Amino acid sequence: MWDFLSIRKSYIALLVLTVVMAAILYSLGTGDRYALTKVVIDGKLSTNMAEALSLRIGKNIFSQDISPAAELMSRRQGVATVSVRPELPSTIRITTNDLSPQWLAHDAGKRELFGLDEKLRVVKITTAHEMNGKPALTGLTGLTLFLPPKDVRVNMVVNQLNKLESTRPDLYRWVTDVDFSADDYVTIGFAGLDRIALVTPGDLGASVKNFLEIFFGSGDVLANVRVVDMRFNGLALGIN
pLDDT in tens, the chain (240 residues): 445 455 555 555 555 556 545 444 445 545 577 899 999 998 899 999 999 999 999 999 999 999 999 899 888 866 777 889 999 999 999 988 767 788 999 999 999 999 998 889 998 886 645 566 899 999 999 999 888 999 999 999 999 999 999 999 999 999 999 999 999 999 999 999 888 999 999 999 999 999 998 888 876 666 778 899 999 876 667 765
Q: pTM above the 0.75 mark? A: no
Task: Tell me the C-alpha distance between 215 and 197, whole Å.
Answer: 11
- Are 208 and 115 members of one domain? yes
- Are 83 and 192 members of one domain? no
Total domains in the chain come to 2
Q: Which domain holds residue 201?
A: 103-239
- Are 85 and 110 members of one domain? no
Residue that is last in its domain, among 65, 96, 127: 96
- Are 130 and 214 members of one domain? yes
- Are 107 and 146 members of one domain? yes
- Are 81 and 160 members of one domain? no
- Are 82 and 114 members of one domain? no
Listed as own residue / partner, the contacts of 86-89 with beta carbons closer than 8 Å and 24 or more positions apart are: 86/34, 86/61, 86/62, 87/40, 87/61, 88/34, 88/61, 89/33, 89/34
pLDDT for res 135: 95
33: DSSP letter: G
Let me know: does 143 contact 122? Beta carbons within 8 Å: yes
86-121 residues labelled b (16+ CB within 10 A) or e (exposed)? beeebbbbbebbebebbbbbbbeeeeebbbbbeebb
pLDDT for res 23: 47
- Are 123 and 203 members of one domain? yes
